[in-house]
Amino acid sequence: MPSEKAKENKALMAVCAACSKPISTETAVALTGVEDGRRKQFAVCIPCANGGWRPPGFSGVYTVRPA
C-alpha cells in the first residue's frame, strides 16, 4: 500500500513487474535482469520478491525482507 506521500507524488510510484499492482518506491525492491539483451532494473513489490519472482536474466542474490 503506497504511503500518503507517494499517493500525492506520482514520481514516487511504480508498477510491480510481477503482479502489475501500483507500489510505492519506498516499499519496492529493484532487481536487475535482462530485457532485449540489455541490463534493466525491474521494480518489484516485496511480497512478489519474497515469493520467488525474479526477472529474466537475474543472477544476483536477494535476501528476503519483512512485508
Instruction: Determine the Cα–Cα distance for residues 49 and 46; give it in Å rounded to an integer.
Output: 5
Residues in the chain: 67
With contact defined as beta carbons under 8 Å apart, do 6 and 26 qualify? yes
Domain with 23 in it: 4-50
CA distance 33 to 12: 22
Q: Quote the pTM value.
A: 0.81
The total domain count for the chain is 1
Q: Is residue 31 part of a domain?
A: yes
At 59, is the pLDDT very low, low, confident or very high (cuts 50, 70, 90)?
confident
Residue 13, in any domain of the structure: yes
pLDDT at 7: 66
| Residue at 33 is within a domain | yes
Residue 9 inside a domain? The answer is: yes
pLDDT at 24: 86
Domain assignment of residue 41, yes or no: yes
Q: What is the pLDDT of residues 27-53, one digit of tens each?
A: 899 999 999 999 999 999 999 999 999
pLDDT of amino acid 60 = 87
In the chain, count H helices and then E strands: 2, 4
Phi, psi (degrees; rounded to nearest 5) at 32: -90, 130
